[in-house]
Amino acid sequence: MRALARAIDNHDLPAVEKIAEESQEDPFEVLISTMLSAQTRDPVTAAASARLFRVARTPRTMAKLTTKRIEKLIYPVSFYRHKAKHVKATCRILVERYRGRVPGTMEELLTLPGVGRKTANLVLILSFRSLKNICVDTHVHRISNRLGWVRTRTPDETEQALYKATDDRWWPYINLYLVTWGQNVCRPLYPRCGACVIREHCPRIGVERTSAR
C-alpha cells in the first residue's frame, strides 16, 4: 500500500474522487456521481456529472427535473435510463425523508434507489470521513484477488474478506489506490505487470496474459 501510495501520485484521480475534491466532499455530489459512475468510463462520468450539476446542485432542484431531462443530461453513461429514474427517486426521498440532506449511515443510504454497498461506502469514506469502511468496485475486487489478499467471487464477498485480510489503517484508501492502479496498470485485460511497482509482492493469481508495455 505504501508503494501504491507513492506510485498513484503520477496518475489522475478517479472521477468521483476528483468531484469530491472539487466540491469540498459534498455528500450529494459524491452520491450522484458515484451512481452515474457504475460501469461507465471516468471521462464520461465526469462530463455527465458536470452537465447535471450545472443544472441542479441540490436534491430539491434535481428532484424537480423530469426523468427525461436527467436522461438527456447524463447520456451517454451506461444504463442512463435506469440511472435517471434512480437519481430522481433518490432526490425525492432525500427531500421528503431527510430534509434535503444525504444521510450518513450505511443502513439509511441503502434505502435509496440505485444505491448499493459500493456507492454507500464511497459516500461514507469521502464525505463523512469514515475510517471503518472499504469501498469495493470491480477494480478492487479484481486486484485483491490477483494479489491473493482474498479469494472471492463477488465484490460484496471481497468487501467482507478485506475487513479480515487488511490492516484497518488502510481501509479508507484501498478504493483510491486500487481503482487508480486498475485504471492505469492492473487493467482487466493485459495488466502491465512489467511496469507494476508491486510486482514483487504479487502472485498474479488468475492472470494469463500481460501487456508487453
Q: Which of 118, 156, 167, 168 is catalytic?
A: 118
Which of 33, 88, 185, 190: binder of ligand SF4 (CB under 6 A)? 185
191 binds ligand SF4 (CB under 6 A): yes
186 binds ligand SF4 (CB under 6 A): yes
Number of shown-chain residues binding ligand SF4 (CB under 6 A)? 14
Using the contact rule CB under 6 A, the part of the chain among 51-59, 68-76, 88-96, 200-208 near ligand SF4 is 200-208
Using the contact rule CB under 6 A, the part of the chain among 34-42, 86-94, 102-110, 184-192 near ligand SF4 is 184-192
The single residue listed with the C-alpha cell 435506469 is 82
Cα distance between the two ends of the chain = 23
184 binds ligand SF4 (CB under 6 A): no
Inter-residue contact 137 to 118 (CB < 8 Å): yes
> How far apart, in Å, are the Cα atoms of 142 and each of 12, 124, 171, 211?
20, 22, 17, 17
202 binds ligand SF4 (CB under 6 A): yes
Question: Cβ of residue 10: shortest distance to ligand SF4, in angstroms?
Answer: 15
Using the contact rule CB under 6 A, the part of the chain among 66-74, 87-95, 100-108, 189-197 near ligand SF4 is 189-197
The answer, yes or no, to whether the previous bond of 43 is cis (omega within 30 of 0) is no
DSSP string, 93-156: HHHHHHTT----SHHHHTTSTT--HHHHHHHHHHTS--SS-----HHHHHHHHHTTS---SSHH
Inter-residue contact 152 to 141 (CB < 8 Å): yes
Subset of 136-175 contacting ligand SF4 (CB under 6 A): 143, 146-147
204 binds ligand SF4 (CB under 6 A): yes
Our CA angle for 147, 118, 86, nearest 5°, is 150
Binding site residues, ligand SF4, CB under 6 A: 143, 146-147, 185-186, 191-193, 196, 198-199, 202, 204, 207
Would you please indicate which residues are annotated as catalytic (active-site) residues? 118, 137
